[in-house]
């Protein structure tokens, strides 16, 4: 299926990470989500009930991202993929998690992971 619902740059603050600084200071995270699903019903009806409410997707991402602390962004992305597949009628989900402000000395760049899972 070629239809995709995209939600980019959902942000939240959390204390995920291995180091004490990451666990105490925390960091801002940014998440992109892609849900593969048939958007024809919404295209035809122009009704939100015929599609996935991207506000609900954003709320679920933030809920998962702020609920329990994890060590790795791989684990965080995995929890998000699992929740999105369980809660929404997508045939596949792509999640990209970026740690925007990691308190790590000498780090240049933005660490991120991307997971894709299908039913």
Catalytic residue IDs: 99
Residues with Cβ < 8 Å from 105, sequence gap 6 or more? none
Q: Angle at Cα 44 formed by Cα 49 and Cα 48, nearest 5°? A: 20
The CA distances from residue 74 to 80, 106, 113, in Å, are 10, 22, 6
Q: Which residue has the tokens 């699992």?
A: 82
**Rounded Cα–Cα distance for residues 16 and 52 (Å):** 28
């Amino acid at each position: 299926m070629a239809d995709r619902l995209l939600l980019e740059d959902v942000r939240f603050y959390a204390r995920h990470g291995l180091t004490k600084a990451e666990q105490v200071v925390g960091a801002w995270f940014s998440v992109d989500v892609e849900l593969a699903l048939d958007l024809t019903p919404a295209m035809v009806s122009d009704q939100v009930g015929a599609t996935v409410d991207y506000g609900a997707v954003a709320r679920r991402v933030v809920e998962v991202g702020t609920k329990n602390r994890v060590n790795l962004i791989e684990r965080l992305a995995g929890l998000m993929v699992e929740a999105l597949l369980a809660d929404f009628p997508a045939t596949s989900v792509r999640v990209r998690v970026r740690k925007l402000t990691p308190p790590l000395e000498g780090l240049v760049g933005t660490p991120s992971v991307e997971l894709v899972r299908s039913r």
